[in-house]
Chains A and B, each alone.
Chain A
Amino acid sequence: MILTEQQVREIFDTAFAAATADEVELSMAWYHEVNREVVCGSTKVIRFSNSYIRDDTVVMPCHPLQVHVAFGSREGAAITNQLDPSGIRDAVARAEAIARAASPNESHRSLHGPEEYPEIPGFDEATAALTDEERHEAVAGVIERLQAEGLNGSGYFHVDDTLEAHANSAGAWFYRRATKTGYAVTVRSDDTTGRESSRVGSGWAAVGDLRRFADLDIPGITDVAIRKALGSVDPQPFEMGPHTVVLEPSAAASFIGLLMRLWSGSARTVGAWGSPSEAGTRVASEHLNLSTHPGHPQIMGSPYGPGGRPLGERVWVENGVLRNVPGGENGPAVHLVGDGGSKSLEEVIAGVDRGILMTQNWNTMLRTIDPPHVNGMTRNGLFRIEDGQLAGPLQNAWYSLRLDEFANNIEDASRPYKAASFGSSGLNGNLMPALRVANFNFYRPSEAV
């Protein structure tokens, strides 16, 4: 069972009672470690490959307690998933031992006291109550179709029932339940492996971070992946160099994520740090609009921000102008909505005389900060566009471009779609637009499929 508000209060009380530090901050929440995401709550996953279920897994509710303490500005932290009194006291003692040994942190911030947080319901009882039988049925139909049509499908379907709770010694308190579900699927036109697979068609589709299972259209998402797989068999080479490219929302998301880090000054390459852009400057074409919107009906995200500040709506980029710099007092660029207007993806494609449609990309990363040079490659469906219509599959390719020029070369954008990041645990479903970008530079064809 997920811990109730009262149970969390009792655990936190035990921790507060054990602490001797000047400041104590306690959290039970999803967190990210190096290369690993940790769910606070339960998570159920069906992972299939070669069109059969490989792993049907259930992780019973687990509530890792994060303890952050400070003596003056000396800070320490510990995490434990053992919530008996001795486990809690041990975590507090470990955090305090680190804090005592630490040197002062010049950027230490004092705790915020009680705050009012907007009510954003993110919990869906039906999703939390989804049975294992229902989870299985949700994918059994698509697996049956994949097998019947001789397609090779790999998918990831998760249902999380989560808890987020925070309290600190200044009196702050926050408790929220949320459900989360998502689905990603890769379909290949057949099961050819190795070097012989260059002619295989491959399609990917996904939706992440939904609160309600009822909103997750697994057959529909799979159908998109199947159509892309069948449509991308025997991809053809194309001329390297600059092209007009339409990035589907999930493909656009990886570039927008890099842009937000670039503008916030949090972009990193090895040994190089970016610096924040100035609010009020033009950073992109007028087609780009980005904001944080936790309460958006298709997001319903947590209103709890860093340091306990309420996380409200905030405009980052308006018609290409940076209105607020992400980070610090402005809060993080999460729960993103990229609103490009009213056009659909199909309408954006229809506006392209000659270009390329990119479904997804891989390994898109900053190689240098100054200039902000990016490269990466396409994956799972690259298609030629002629006269506003898809006109056949193209070989995957590597691209290389400047991120700032990418932003200024955005020529059109669609309405926001629920997107997904590629592959990892949470699928990170921001609302992203499809983007039409001019002078998108490809430099090397790839045989990888």
Chain B
Amino acid sequence: MDITRRQFVRLCGGTAAVVLPFGLTRCAAPRPAHELIEDVEWKKGLADAAVRIATSRGATFADVRVVRNLIQTIAADDQAIKGVPGEWHYGSSPEHVLEKVDIGFNVRVLKNGAWGFVASPVLSEDEAVAVAGLACDLAEKAALTVPEPIHLVPEPVHVDTWVTPHEEDPFTVPLDEKVALLLRINEEVRRNPQTDRAFSWLDFWDENKFYANSEGAEIQQRLVRSDGSFFARARVGGVTAQRRFFVNPLNIGYEYIRGLDLPSHAERIAAEAVEKAKAPIIDFSGQIDVVMDPQNICLFEHETIGHPTELNRTVLVETNFAGSTFLAPEDMGSYEFGSPVTNFVGDRSRPMLRSTCGYDDEGVKTQEWDVVREGKLVGFQTTREFATYVGEEASRGCCMTESWDRVPQGRMPNLSLEPGGQDSPSPEELIADTRRGLLFRGFSSRIVQDYQRRYHTYTGNAVWEIENGRTTRMLRGAHYYGKNPSELWHRLETVTNPASWEPAALDSDDIGQPTQRNHNTHGAPWARFRNLNVGGPAS
């Protein structure tokens, strides 16, 4: 009897087939996980075993993820390659110089209308069988509490391979080269004698994700992420200030880092750190026009539109930690979220953006959709479970899990403010058109917002006064604030042209119990808001 490779692998319990003389075969010693993770056929066998157990137990749906995350973080604190306690920026800075390998798989089943989820770092078919059975046990118990069975909206069956387009694998670039780059950046920053510290970092991810489900989906994906940047810190007259060079983190290879020429920006950033340290504290409180650059809008839109339109928040799924939202499912199609130039698009398909991939973590092909169109709320972030809450018959593809040991959740995709038309102003023209206002550049983690995202206070990494169409001097401590969206997005008056749109992104975003990280882009043009509330640190 002939047996297929997959059947043979299964028989061997996850070990390799070794071909012996005379056509005989035998099972070899267990193969290490780093080999198995590259063997798509083997992963199909593992998933097949788990799914068969789940469906034989009566699960109406089962899916399997086999995941390897490879992470490399390198940071330089002045001329020392080491980690430092962070809070340099949103989230916190890399605290370790390290490489991390994390491999495992999980099985999620929907049985009797409830979920069960089990994860394991042991890659073997025996383990997959055990894990799938346990997931069914858990679902059966959970089902005893579920008033209405969970249903999933349909999704076509996809069998595909998807890889982040990239030219140069960041993990093949020698460490020496990366270290030399960081040290040179810091050296260039410290040429300015009024700086007292430079900090730079590089951060790379390589996610190998295999997904299969009981409907027949088999999807192999590889996501490559590259990020890196630096800060300059100045100390003048007892005042310390830092200025960050904002790189837009992307899903791309090391060619992105090479193209940034990070050291060439060090002189300007150092000078701006000094200027910031010398800047006066804002002494104005009231309403004024505010211009924001894409990196300042990035965090602002993440919190004010991103979290509120997570559909699972609207139905109180995250109440015990992250909170809920001021929006409700029935707001879709009618709620006036912003001014007529307020257009937000959700996507996981635009090239190079942080959340971009071929398929989400429950096999949904990624796409692009309107969340706010001409100021009106028209879309939410959905998964196969939650799409029906807003009457939709298909998921937007927002199911994500950070790694093999975390349960899939609805998470924020790329969510971006759209630019104006070609006849819209450039950033320079926007500033030139502003008689009196403030310019906020870059985001800062020193924000405050409530757990329903009703009210917000933000600042920037650097703030300038605008007088008669020109930026004049920097200010420290300036914040803008207001009720969301009536005192914020309703006051958006102008967005700049398509050429000014940038794929700004946060370093990290976390949610859930236990917490999971997420990567997403919040692209934006430059924008001007009329009469925003502005004040000092106590705003």
B138 CB contacts on chain A under 8 angstroms: 56-58, 132
Is A101 an interface residue, CB under 8 A from the partner?
yes
Q: Cα distance A251–B117 when bound, in Å?
A: 33
A285 CB contacts on chain B under 8 angstroms: none
Q: Is the Cβ of B451 less than 8 Å from the Cβ of A106?
A: no
CB neighbors of A among B175-217 (8 A)? 175-176, 178-179, 183
Q: Which of B80, B116, B513 makes the CB contact (< 8 A) with A47?
A: B513
Taking the closest CB of chain A, its distance from the CB of B304, in whole angstroms, is: 14
Q: Is the Cβ of A34 less than 8 Å from the Cβ of B240?
A: no
Q: Is the Cβ of B115 less than 8 Å from the Cβ of A55?
A: yes
Q: Is the Cβ of A53 less than 8 Å from the Cβ of B145?
A: yes
Taking the closest CB of chain A, its distance from the CB of B374, in whole angstroms, is: 21
- Looking at A34, A144, A266, A398, the one whose CB has the most chain B CB atoms below 10 A away is A34
Q: Please, which residue of chain A has its CB at the minimum distance from the CB of B385?
A: A54
Q: Cα distance A447–B508 when bound, in Å?
A: 28
Q: Is the Cβ of B537 less than 8 Å from the Cβ of A103?
A: no
Q: Is the Cβ of A50 less than 8 Å from the Cβ of B445?
A: no
Q: Please, which residue of chain A has its CB at the minimum distance from the CB of B121?
A: A62
Taking the closest CB of chain A, its distance from the CB of B85, in whole angstroms, is: 7
Taking the closest CB of chain B, its distance from the CB of A397, in whole angstroms, is: 10
Q: Is the Cβ of B146 less than 8 Å from the Cβ of A53?
A: yes
Is B86 an interface residue, CB under 8 A from the partner?
yes
Q: A82-B32, A271-B88, A446-B450 are in contact. Are A106 and B515 (CB under 8 A)?
A: no
Q: Is the Cβ of A78 less than 8 Å from the Cβ of B100?
A: yes
Q: Is the Cβ of A271 less than 8 Å from the Cβ of B101?
A: no
**Interface residues as binary, B94-121 with A (CB distance below 8 Å gives 1, 0 otherwise):** 1111111111100000000011111111
CB neighbors of B among A78-129 (8 A)? 78-82, 84, 86-87, 90-91, 94-95, 97-98, 100-107
Q: Cα distance A148–B411 when bound, in Å?
A: 31
Q: Cα distance A396–B455 when bound, in Å?
A: 12
Q: Cα distance A45–B34 when bound, in Å?
A: 28
A330 CB contacts on chain B under 8 angstroms: none
Q: Please, which residue of chain A has its CB at the minimum distance from the CB of B150?
A: A54
**Interface residues as binary, A39-65 with B (CB distance below 8 Å gives 1, 0 otherwise):** 100010101111111111111111010
Q: Is the Cβ of A36 less than 8 Å from the Cβ of B320?
A: no
Q: Is the Cβ of A35 less than 8 Å from the Cβ of B517?
A: yes
Is A406 an interface residue, CB under 8 A from the partner?
no
Is A425 an interface residue, CB under 8 A from the partner?
yes
Is B51 an interface residue, CB under 8 A from the partner?
no
Is B158 an interface residue, CB under 8 A from the partner?
no
CB neighbors of A among B336-364 (8 A)? none
CB neighbors of A among B59-109 (8 A)? 74, 76, 79-82, 85-89, 91-104
Q: Cα distance A79–B83 when bound, in Å?
A: 15
CB neighbors of A among B17-33 (8 A)? 30, 32-33
- Looking at B98, B147, B325, B405, the one whose CB has the most chain A CB atoms below 10 A away is B98
A422 CB contacts on chain B under 8 angstroms: 321
Q: Please, which residue of chain B has its CB at the minimum distance from the CB of A58?
A: B118
Q: Please, which residue of chain B has its CB at the minimum distance from the CB of A35?
A: B510
Binds B, one of A166-174, A186-194, A350-358, A410-418: A186-194
Q: Is the Cβ of A98 less than 8 Å from the Cβ of B233?
A: no
Is A161 an interface residue, CB under 8 A from the partner?
no
CB < 8 Å A-B pair total? 308
- Looking at A57, A62, A443, the one whose CB has the most chain B CB atoms below 10 A away is A57
Q: Which of B98, B452, B514 makes the CB contact (< 8 A) with A449?
A: B452
Q: Is the Cβ of B314 less than 8 Å from the Cβ of A193?
A: yes
**Interface residues as binary, A143-174 with B (CB distance below 8 Å gives 1, 0 otherwise):** 11001000010111010000000000000000
- Looking at A104, A379, A448, the one whose CB has the most chain B CB atoms below 10 A away is A448
Q: Is the Cβ of B317 less than 8 Å from the Cβ of A50?
A: yes
Q: Cα distance A422–B96 when bound, in Å?
A: 25
Q: Is the Cβ of A52 less than 8 Å from the Cβ of B145?
A: yes
Q: Please, which residue of chain A has its CB at the minimum distance from the CB of B449?
A: A363
Q: Which of A97, A107, A400 makes the CB contact (< 8 A) with B538?
A: A400
Q: Is the Cβ of B448 less than 8 Å from the Cβ of A270?
A: no
Q: Which of A57, A191, A423 makes the CB contact (< 8 A) with B119?
A: A57
Q: A57-B138, A81-B104, A132-B141 are in contact. Are A269 and B407 (CB under 8 A)?
A: no
Is A376 an interface residue, CB under 8 A from the partner?
yes
Q: Is the Cβ of A103 less than 8 Å from the Cβ of B314?
A: no
Taking the closest CB of chain B, its distance from the CB of A391, in whole angstroms, is: 25
Interface size class on chain A is 35 or more
A17 CB contacts on chain B under 8 angstroms: none
Q: Cα distance A163–B449 when bound, in Å?
A: 37
Q: Please, which residue of chain A has its CB at the minimum distance from the CB of B134?
A: A58
Q: Is the Cβ of B514 less than 8 Å from the Cβ of A86?
A: no
Q: A52-B147, A84-B33, A273-B240 are in contact. Are A101 and B446 (CB under 8 A)?
A: no
Q: A79-B100, A82-B103, A86-B32 are in contact. Are A423 and B321 (CB under 8 A)?
A: yes
Q: A271-B88, A422-B321 are in contact. Are A34 and B79 (CB under 8 A)?
A: no
Q: Which of B80, B402, B513 makes the CB contact (< 8 A) with A425?
A: B513
Is A367 an interface residue, CB under 8 A from the partner?
yes
Is A133 an interface residue, CB under 8 A from the partner?
yes
Is B295 an interface residue, CB under 8 A from the partner?
no
Q: Cα distance A447–B449 when bound, in Å?
A: 12
Taking the closest CB of chain B, its distance from the CB of A262, in whole angstroms, is: 14
Binds A, one of B249-257, B326-334, B493-501: B326-334
A49 CB contacts on chain B under 8 angstroms: 316-320
B464 CB contacts on chain A under 8 angstroms: none
Q: Please, which residue of chain A has its CB at the minimum distance from the CB of B83?
A: A77
- Looking at A58, A136, A156, A362, the one whose CB has the most chain B CB atoms below 10 A away is A58
Is B315 an interface residue, CB under 8 A from the partner?
yes
- Looking at A43, A45, A62, the one whose CB has the most chain B CB atoms below 10 A away is A62
Q: Is the Cβ of B320 less than 8 Å from the Cβ of A184?
A: yes
B319 CB contacts on chain A under 8 angstroms: 49, 152, 154, 186, 188
Q: A87-B32, A105-B82, A194-B327 are in contact. Are A81 and B118 (CB under 8 A)?
A: no
Is B444 an interface residue, CB under 8 A from the partner?
yes
Is B470 an interface residue, CB under 8 A from the partner?
no
- Looking at B91, B144, B477, the one whose CB has the most chain A CB atoms below 10 A away is B144
- Looking at B131, B174, B317, the one whose CB has the most chain A CB atoms below 10 A away is B317
A363 CB contacts on chain B under 8 angstroms: 448-451
A204 CB contacts on chain B under 8 angstroms: 320
Q: Is the Cβ of A101 less than 8 Å from the Cβ of B145?
A: no
Q: A193-B316, A270-B88 are in contact. Are A58 and B119 (CB under 8 A)?
A: yes
Q: Which of A98, A188, A448 makes the CB contact (< 8 A) with B99?
A: A98
A53 CB contacts on chain B under 8 angstroms: 114, 141-142, 145-146
Q: Is the Cβ of B34 less than 8 Å from the Cβ of A82?
A: yes
Is B490 an interface residue, CB under 8 A from the partner?
no
A449 CB contacts on chain B under 8 angstroms: 452
Q: Is the Cβ of B179 less than 8 Å from the Cβ of A101?
A: yes
Q: Please, which residue of chain B has its CB at the minimum distance from the CB of A366?
A: B446
**Interface residues as binary, A425-449 with B (CB distance below 8 Å gives 1, 0 otherwise):** 1000000000000000001101111
A61 CB contacts on chain B under 8 angstroms: 121
Q: Cα distance A194–B241 when bound, in Å?
A: 39
B444 CB contacts on chain A under 8 angstroms: 270
| CB pairs A–B below 8 angstroms (28 shown) | A34-B508, A36-B517, A47-B320, A53-B142, A56-B115, A59-B118, A75-B81, A77-B96, A86-B32, A87-B33, A87-B34, A90-B101, A105-B81, A106-B80, A132-B141, A147-B145, A156-B320, A184-B513, A193-B328, A269-B446, A271-B233, A375-B538, A379-B451, A423-B320, A423-B322, A424-B321, A425-B515, A446-B454
**Additional pairs, 18, CB under 8 Å, beyond known A54-B142, A60-B131, A195-B328:** A33-B517, A34-B92, A34-B94, A36-B510, A39-B514, A49-B320, A50-B316, A54-B317, A58-B118, A60-B120, A106-B80, A188-B316, A188-B319, A195-B454, A268-B85, A268-B87, A270-B461, A377-B450
B: residues with CB less than 8 A from A are 30, 32-34, 74, 76, 79-82, 85-89, 91-104, 114-122, 127, 131, 134, 137-139, 141-142, 144-147, 174-176, 178-179, 183, 231, 233, 240-242, 314-331, 402, 405, 407, 444-446, 448-452, 454-455, 461, 477, 507-510, 513-517, 537-538
Which 5 A/B pairs are nearest by Cβ-Cβ distance? A271-B242, A194-B328, A423-B321, A35-B510, A425-B514
